[in-house]
Amino acid sequence: MDALPRSPMIRSKELGDQTPVVFRNRKGLRLYGILHTPHGRQPGDLAVVLLSPGVKMRVGPQRLYLPLTKRLLRLGLSVLRLDFHGLGDSDGTLPEDQLRDVYNHIEVGRFVEDTIDALNWMQQTHGTRRFLLSGLCGGAITGLLAGHRDPRVVGLLALGITPVLASRAADASRYVTIGQLEAFQQIYLRRLFNPQAWFRLLTFRTDNRLIARMLAHWWRKALGGKAEPPAAPPADGDNANPLFPPAFFRMLSTRRPMLLVFGGGDRLHWEYEEKFVSRHKEQLAGLPSLVEVHVVEQANHTLSFTPWQDEMLEVSTRWLKNHFVDDLAEQQHAAPASLPAVSHT
């Protein structure tokens, strides 16, 4: 096997000592990433691996992974940001023609082996034996499925995790949750006096099935009737991810904490509550209380605005200090007392 190139370290005041890395996955494809360590240090026994979201590369949408990396470094943690095969700079291609099919393959574990290969590389190269996995959307579900398989994963920081399968969600009205219906109701009320909205309705460019379900839900509530949940789809058409519950319960039964952060405007937090929590209440009640769910009000799926990101970072910091206090204390103790001046190479 040919030798892989080595790249020089770049020192940044906020992003630590950055080293471009490349290693081969089990199929021989080269995976590229960036390893961040606090200044003057090597990765410790605990490190964070940030997993690419969907078809985005290792910086995340709107460069979301960079402020998260900065915060983790301030806590003394090293961070590996990774491009999976077929994404970013890494080797390989994705064969699907439809984007939703790409997402579907991610949701059932396409990049789990790449993730485990990254943990193997970190352990073999730097001696790291324990990992926190984190990521947005596809990165989050990949982290959960990898944690199900690998006991070296000691926790999951999941942003906008998806408990459903994209390839079975083409008809939005079929699987919409009550939370989504009520949110859509507010949106459509604001559009009542918008001529363009009426034009889209009359020219059949609006999803009339969704509007029909929304109006039926509103009518039942207006008449004082109990709001009925969306009709359960047939078993062969349910878009809930069958791999989500066993992975989730495996993490809990082995006492590995999880923080799930959702945007208040993101359908995924309703789907998590209505298509996972509501279906597994009894099983959840019998397990350790190691799951924290935080909703950033008004935020979208990618936490695009700085105030939304700041709230996520504060909640994540508190969660890390609560569950990994001894690890963080050890990491902080080993970190230099002050940051050196920034230099560029």
Tell whether 158 is covered by a domain. Answer: yes
Across the chain, how many H-helices and E-strands are there? 13, 9
Mean pLDDT (whole number) for 129-152: 96
Tell whether 35 is covered by a domain. Answer: yes
3-class SS of residue 13: coil
Residue 56: name the closest of 137, 143, 156 by CA: 137
Of the listed ranges 55-59, 118-122, 322-326, the least confidently predicted one is 55-59
Token pair for 21: 């890395």
**What pLDDT does 104 receive?**
84
* pLDDT exceeds cutoff 80 at 339: no
Tell whether 105 is covered by a domain. Answer: yes
Mean pLDDT, the chain, as a whole number?
82
Confidence band of 95 (pLDDT split at 50, 70, 90): confident
Tell whether 5 is covered by a domain. Answer: no
* pLDDT exceeds cutoff 90 at 88: no
Residues 216 and 247 both lie in one domain: no
Residues 148 and 46 both lie in one domain: yes
Q: Distances in Å between the alpha carbon of 238 and those of 2, 160, 253, 281, 290?
A: 46, 20, 26, 19, 27
* pLDDT exceeds cutoff 80 at 135: yes
Higher pLDDT, 108 or 292: 292
Q: How far apart are CA 199 and CA 13, in angstroms?
A: 53
Tell whether 233 is covered by a domain. Answer: no
pTM value is 0.78
Residues 218 and 93 both lie in one domain: no
Tell whether 3 is covered by a domain. Answer: no
Q: Which residues constitute the domain of residue 183?
A: 176-222
**What pLDDT does 96 receive?**
79
Q: Are 33 and 11 in contact (CB under 8 A)?
A: no
Q: How far apart are CA 52 and CA 221, in angstroms?
A: 42
Of the listed ranges 146-155, 171-180, 258-267, the least confidently predicted one is 171-180
Q: How far apart are CA 42 and CA 37, in angstroms?
A: 6
Residue 126: name the closest of 6, 44, 16 by CA: 44
pLDDT tens digit sequence for 293-336: 999 999 999 999 999 999 999 999 999 999 998 778 777 666 45
Residues 329 and 205 both lie in one domain: no
Residues 28 and 162 both lie in one domain: yes
> Bridge-partner residues for 31, per DSSP?
23
Q: Are 133 and 156 in contact (CB under 8 A)?
A: yes
Residues 27 and 74 both lie in one domain: yes
**What pLDDT does 105 receive?**
86
Residues 181 and 77 both lie in one domain: no
Residues 160 and 180 both lie in one domain: no
Residues 32 and 134 both lie in one domain: yes
Tell whether 84 is covered by a domain. Answer: yes
| Sheet of strand 30-37, all strands in order from the earlier edge strand to the far edge | 10-12, 16-24, 30-37, 78-82, 46-51, 130-136, 153-159, 258-263, 291-296
DSSP 158-187: EES---B-GGG-SSHHHH--HHHHHHHHHH
**What pLDDT does 98 receive?**
80
**What pLDDT does 169 receive?**
36
Residues 180 and 157 both lie in one domain: no
Tell whether 151 is covered by a domain. Answer: yes
Residue 21: name the closest of 135, 94, 125 by CA: 125
Residues 254 and 138 both lie in one domain: yes
DSSP 33-65: EEEEESTT----SEEEEEEPPTT--TT-GGGTH
pLDDT tens digit sequence for 276-295: 999 999 999 888 889 999 99
Q: How far apart are CA 30 and CA 7, in angstroms?
A: 14
pLDDT tens digit sequence for 210-242: 666 667 766 677 777 655 554 444 445 578 888
Residues 205 and 73 both lie in one domain: no
Q: How far apart are CA 141 and CA 158, in angstroms?
A: 8
Mean pLDDT (whole number) for 85-89: 89
**What pLDDT does 187 receive?**
61
Number of domains in the chain: 2
